[in-house]
Structure 1
Amino acid sequence: MSEARNVTADDFAEWYAEAFVEIRRAVTLAVGDADLGEEATAEAFAKALVHWPKVRRADSRRAWVYRVALNEARSRFRRLRLERRYLQRRRAEGELHHPPPEEPDTALWRAVSGLPPRTRTAVVLRYVADLSVAEVAEAMGVATGSVSATLHHARKRLAQVLSEEPKGAER
């Protein structure tokens, strides 16, 4: 059974290597957007792999993938159009007016931007995005204890840096 499975997988891999570039190029030209063409083609090939026993026997594998890719692109266009209409309606009803964010304190912003990336991310998620420690841990994919320790060290470092800030510095 596994030998048959490998032959099928090898068959798909060979066909994919042969057909992907041509199909992506055609789909991209058809939809007029390189990113969308790439994504729709990749999605179509992923579906072809899932349905490979059926696609492999199709009269035209390429036609099957073109159809799936173009349908995927149309679906994305429809979703984007619906999202735009929804946002326009919400704006017209005044529901999407958000005041601009406050400018951050310059010294504090400088101090935070000087932190290592992981530490800076934890600080921003906790104190700017106002996530709980557990939510920060989930968003960063680490343990809550790691977040707590990171934030503890960050607060100490920020206090040190901000206390060294010359008096009268730009705020």
Structure 2
Amino acid sequence: MRADDRDDFTAFVRERSPNLMRVAFLLTGDRGLAEDLLQTSLEKTSRHWHKIREPDAAYAYVRRAMVNTHISWRRRRTVPEVLLEDLPDRAPDPGPHPPARSGAALAALAGLPPRMRTVIVLRFYEGLSEADTAAAMGSSLGSVKSQASRGLARLRVELDEPTHSFASGKTQP
């Protein structure tokens, strides 16, 4: 990589990593996996950085690399191992405070299938249009629409949110 490309890439990483890390976390549901996903995607992007000139195009390029890498990792179907030196006698006490609402939302998001979760993250966190989400995922517009609809319905049920009927303008339980 040329020195000026390296400087541009370093500036991009410093500026956009926090946003990309949030997307990676929402895709994976795990901070460690999110860090790995972002690092892998940035490494892939660095190899082709000389081709990218627009800052917005660079962000979209890295996001697409994250989506593709995440899907690839999910296809491997690896089972995570947790190694403990000593096994606990009982589960830890959850504490006196109920989980925060954002924790429930993250848990509900993590419970979605990977492609559905990816659509929800790209559409509603990243604010992409349906067409841009389909392009970022390499899928059809109809698939994005159906995955978004089903994903939102599942999140509403999981979070006990009322549904809104746009035809009548009334909220239904």
Normalising by structure 1, report the TM-score: 0.42
Which protein has the larger Cα radius of gyration, Structure 1 or Structure 2?
1
Higher RCO by CA contacts (8 Å cutoff, separation 6 or greater): 2
**Larger helix fraction of residues:** 1
